[in-house]
Amino acid sequence: MASQSLLKWRHFLPAIILLNVRWYCCYPLSYRDLEEMMAERGVEVDHSTIHRWVLSYAPELDQRLRPHLNETNDSWRVDETYIEVKGVWKYLYRAVDSMGNTLDFMLSAKRDGKAAARFFRKVLKAEHTQAPRVITVDKNAAYPVAVEALKAVETLAAETELRQSKYMNNMIEQDHRNIKRLTKPMMGFGSFHTARRTLSGIEAMSMIRKGQAKGISKAIILNVKNQT
């Protein structure tokens, strides 16, 4: 991640830049919180600079993590949660497997069959996911439409089971809480572009903290957290 080409011409050391990006994507902090925390450590950096770092490097975290994720199982839990962008609610589609491991995510302006189908295709293309044996969703009418459309073009296997059960989808709804906890101090995003890039870093750090990265266990993450 901290390659010379990626962080070339930056005024601050790569370690400082990545520390701020990691903290912002891991903990419920505002940019001004990080500015104060850096000042206490003798580093003068403006909150707007940290904002630019996050927009530049949060998607890079997600992209570079993907090839190193452990394989997930074939039982999907899919749901969407609300994200505020310029005072308007948008939809963050998210999916986990039966063990709670993140499959993928997608920010969408709409909540309909086409958006759900687009999300399913994104999950299927991920290197660490398997074709689903069963997909558990809530009572949203868009999901059966999306599944039928994908089965018609053989993107999903005909035998893939779709279960619509709010009770059985508690796992993904609980998993949303971490995202909401982190986005609350942000008080909404200024643009769809900003939201999409920031959320990619938040989701990447969430996958690391769950122990989904190869060679990085939850115990190691907890130890680093305690030393921070």
Average pLDDT over residues 181-210: 93
Q: Residue 1, SS3? A: coil
Does any domain span residue 26?
no
203-226 pLDDT tens trace? 999 999 999 998 876 655 555 555
Does any domain span residue 171?
yes
Average pLDDT over residues 56-76: 95
Does any domain span residue 13?
no
Q: Name the residue with tokens 């990265």.
A: 213
CA distance 189 to 203: 16
Q: Look up the domain containing 101 and give its range.
A: 69-190
Quick check: 113 pLDDT over 70? yes
Q: What are the φ and ψ backbone dihedral angles of 2, each rounded to 5 degrees? A: -85, 55
Q: What is the pLDDT of residue 1?
A: 46
Domain count for the chain, please give it. Answer: 1
Q: What is the pLDDT of residue 30?
A: 93
Strands 75-85 and 88-97, bridge-based pairing:
antiparallel
Average pLDDT over residues 109-115: 95
Does any domain span residue 17?
no
Q: What is the pLDDT of residue 2?
A: 46
CA distance 129 to 226: 31
Q: What CATH number is attached to the domain comprising 162?
A: 3.30.420.10
10-33 pLDDT tens trace? 678 888 999 999 999 999 999 999
